[in-house]
Structure 1
Amino acid sequence: MPKVVDPEARRDEVADAVFRVVRRAGFEQASLRNVAEEAGLAIGSVRHYFAGHTELMTFAMRASIERISARLEARVGPLLAAQDGGERAERVELMLSELLPLDEPRLEEAAVWLAFTTAARTRPELRPQAQEAYDGMRRLVGRIIAGIAAHGRLGADVEVETERLCALIDGLTVEGVLHPERMTPGLMRRCLRRHLATLIEPGR
């Protein structure tokens, strides 16, 4: 009997292969042929699902967004259940940490995000997906900042603090991808923790 292939599992395999190729060799090297080889598949198997490089990369970006969203969703309940300011701050940090390249899977996701958004600057067909990824991150950060303000603990402008935190996450992600030997997971965590501490007025 012919082997039954789970389409979703196969697409996940291909997405993982894209992440590895992009991290190792860059955006343009993630061709159907190279990704098929990385995944240990025949190129016809990859072409069955993707018509070309743009469609493949758009799918990989979508897969990355969905994986990050699932991790963030798992953090929502514990954050909402936090009983005091200290516990809430810890869970906010854990949630935002899901956006940073703190381990191998997240480092590969971040490499794809950086490669994709850089390519989207000159390739209009990629821009909607890149914009969706950024807008999703900004909405999350905005809700967190609004939550801090709602608890009477924000000592500055909500809009400015949203942009400032987004800029920090972007910067740590870029540095973590480009200079992982210097921007280590421990340093990223300390930078994020210190920044979150600056959002709370002394004595509150």
Structure 2
Amino acid sequence: MPKIVDHELRKIRIAEAAWKVIVQSGMEHATVRKIAKESGLSVGSLRYYFPTQAELLLFSMELVSERVKERIHAHLHQPKADPLTAIKDVIGEMLPLDDERRVETEVWFVFSAKALVDLRLRQLNEQVYTEMSNAFKRVIQFLQQVGLVRADLQAEREAKRLHALVDGLALHHLMHPEKLTKQAIIDILQHHLRTLQT
């Protein structure tokens, strides 16, 4: 009986192998040959799923974005008694607070650098940036709706400030994990959210 292959799952496994190669060796060394070896496939088999390296990188980048969005969606559909805890959980999905999120964050920053010179990646990068920006706007609007921020808060400015803070925390932790620990990230985020209340 012929083996049944789940093609979508295979593509995801290849993308995850690409992440591993990128994190270990850098984007410039993420060759099709290395990714094929990491995923346990021949180069020909990999090219069946991704005819070009650009298509593989684009899919890999989209997968990072989709995983983060899925986890955020899950939090939003789990009722929590404390709205502030719910918001911290949502924002936490965008920060490298465990091994999975650390790999995703590393890959995302590498892709973002590559997007400066690759138009296809830049378009996706812009799309995800807009989605993230809108997510932070919704966070601030939610905090306003439940009365957890001061009345004179400028929502647009605070959404941008929160977005910049989260990006900065993620980057600083990746570059200097011993100086900006995971607990420090959580403490800084909690402190920032408290400043919106007074």
TM-score normalised by the chain length of structure 2: 0.93
Structure 1 residue identity aligned to 2:182: P
- How far does residue 152 in structure 1 lie from its aligned partner after superposition? 3.3
Question: What are structure 2's unaligned runs of at least 5 residues?
Answer: none
Tell whether 2:119 aligns with 1:124: yes
Identify unmatched segments of 5+ residues in structure 1: none
- 1:165-180 equivalent positions in 2, closer than 5 A: 165-180=162-177
Alpha-carbon distance, 1:34 to partner: 1.0
Match of 1:24 in 2: 24
2:76 match: secondary structure: helix
Give the % identical residues: 34
2:68, 2:94 within 8 Å by CA — same for their partners in 1? Answer: yes
Deviation track 1:143-172 (CA, whole Å, cap 9, x = no partner) reads 010111223332321111000000011111
Contact 2:58 2:120 (8 Å CA) reproduced: no
Residue 200 of structure 1, CA deviation: 1.0
User: 1:138 aligned to 2:123?
Assistant: no
Deviation by residue 1:18-59 (Cα, 9 ceiling, x = unmatched): 111111111122221111111121111110111222111100
Q: Which one-letter code corresponds to 2:19 in the other structure?
A: F
SS at match of 1:48: helix
Following TM superposition, by how much is the alpha carbon of 1:116 offset from its aligned partner in structure 2, in angstroms? 0.8
1:80-136 CA deviation, whole Å, 9 max, x = no partner?
Answer: x444xxx11011101110000111111111111101111111222211111122111
1:33 match: 33
2:159 is aligned with what amino acid? T
Q: Is the 8 A contact 2:33 2:43 kept in 1?
A: yes
- 1:110 aligned partner: 105
Tell me which residue corresponds to 2:188: 191
Which stretch shows the higher mean deviation, 127-136 or 89-98? 127-136
The residue identity in structure 1 corresponding to 2:160 is E
Match of 1:89 among 73, 80, 84: 84
2:64 and 2:104 in contact (8 A); partners too: yes
Amino acid at match of 2:57: M
Give the whole-Å Cα distance in 2 for the aligned partners of 1:177 and 1:130: 19
Deviation readout 1:179-198 (Å, 9 max, x if unpaired): 23332221111111111111
Question: Does the residue aligned with 1:5 lie in a helix, a strand or coil?
Answer: coil
Aligned to 1:47: 47
Q: Number of residue pairs matched?
A: 196
1:147 is aligned to 2:142: yes
